[in-house]
Homo-oligomer: A and B are copies of this chain.
Amino acid sequence: METVSENTCFGGQQGVYTHASEACGCDMTFGLFLPEEARDAPVPVLWYLSGLTCTHQNAMEKAGAQLWAAEQGLAVVFPDTSPRGEGVADDEAFDLGQGAGFYVNATRSPWAPHFAMWDYVAEELPALIGTEFALDMDRQSITGHSMGGHGALTLAMGLKGRFRSVSAFAPICHPTTSDWGRKQFTAYLGEDEAAWAVHDATLLMRAQGFDGPILTDTGTKDQFFGLLGTHDFAHAVAERGQPATLRLQPGYDHSYFFVQSFMEDHMAFHAEALHAAAA
């Protein structure tokens, strides 16, 4: 692992690191904010998964997370959204290939050799940061934006017992019925929709739910509202009786100006779960 940069921020440190990823077969870059408390003892970890076109950098610079993470004593990890580089398959469309990994392990050509973002975020990167930094990997929560909200919800439900709480900003909630989902799952996983189900938050909610609290925010003027499946996820949550707070925020769109506006709430939500006495 190599250090790209480390900047003092809100009394803690915002770092950027690269490492050779086995899962993705390429160098991967991630951001990690460590609050001041990490100098003394391991701190809880919040994962922030980003959306289409993003690298590790966008949320790290624009989501306004560090202020509240410092206040709550949480580390925040900002993974990239796909493998990258020469020799890694790509597509001209912004919503397929590099920058659009969709947090799945691709099984189809030309994506399979590198596009293993599920394994990367679920296994390889946690193992790395748990070794390299003062993080308490027994206390993890997860959030994300748009495609990253999809990732947060599906990882939280798919990895039982891993995350204490999950939240999302404008998440893609029902990708198996959306143009943000069907196109990518067909490319990465093939046409058999049975393989898609474990990557659809609404289907996972119907099938099993999440053993912890859920918070989502979505703007009523989100320019991609029709692609998100917010209503289907809300229906599944209500049908299951899943503990959750699903909020529609008047006037907000899909941008980081929306995300930062509700970051304080999401950080406080996760901090409550992460600072609670162990279950």
**Measured CA separation A30–B203 after assembly (Å):** 45
Distance from A78 Cβ to chain B, minimum over Cβ atoms (Å)? 13
Contact yes or no, B260 A9, CB < 8 A = yes
CB distance from A63 to the nearest CB of B (A): 10
Q: Interface residues of A toward B: which range? A: 20 to 34
Distance of A221 Cα from B261 Cα, bound (Å): 30
**Residue in A8, A256, A260 with the greatest tally of chain B CB atoms within 10 Å:** A8
Evaluate contact between B64 and A61: CB separation under 8 angstroms: no
Considering the chains assembled together, what is the distance between the CA atoms of A132 and B255 in angstroms?
25
**Chain B residues closer than 8 Å to A252, beta-carbon distance:** 8
Task: Give the dominant DSSP class at A's interface.
Answer: mixed
Is the C-beta of A112 less than 8 angstroms from some C-beta in chain B? no
A160-182 residues with Cβ-Cβ distance < 8 A to B are: none
Tell me if A247 is interfacial: C-beta within 8 Å of chain B: no
A257 near B64 (CB under 8 angstroms)?
A: no
- A14 on interface, CB distance cutoff 8 Å: yes
**In contact, A260 and B66 (Cβ under 8 angstroms):** yes
A residues with a Cβ closer than 8 A to B are 7-11, 14, 61-62, 64, 66-67, 219, 221, 251-253, 255-258, 260-261, 264
Can you name 18 A-B pairs with beta carbons within 8 Å?
A8-B251, A8-B252, A8-B253, A8-B258, A8-B261, A9-B257, A9-B261, A10-B260, A11-B261, A14-B257, A61-B62, A61-B256, A62-B62, A64-B64, A64-B67, A67-B67, A67-B260, A67-B264
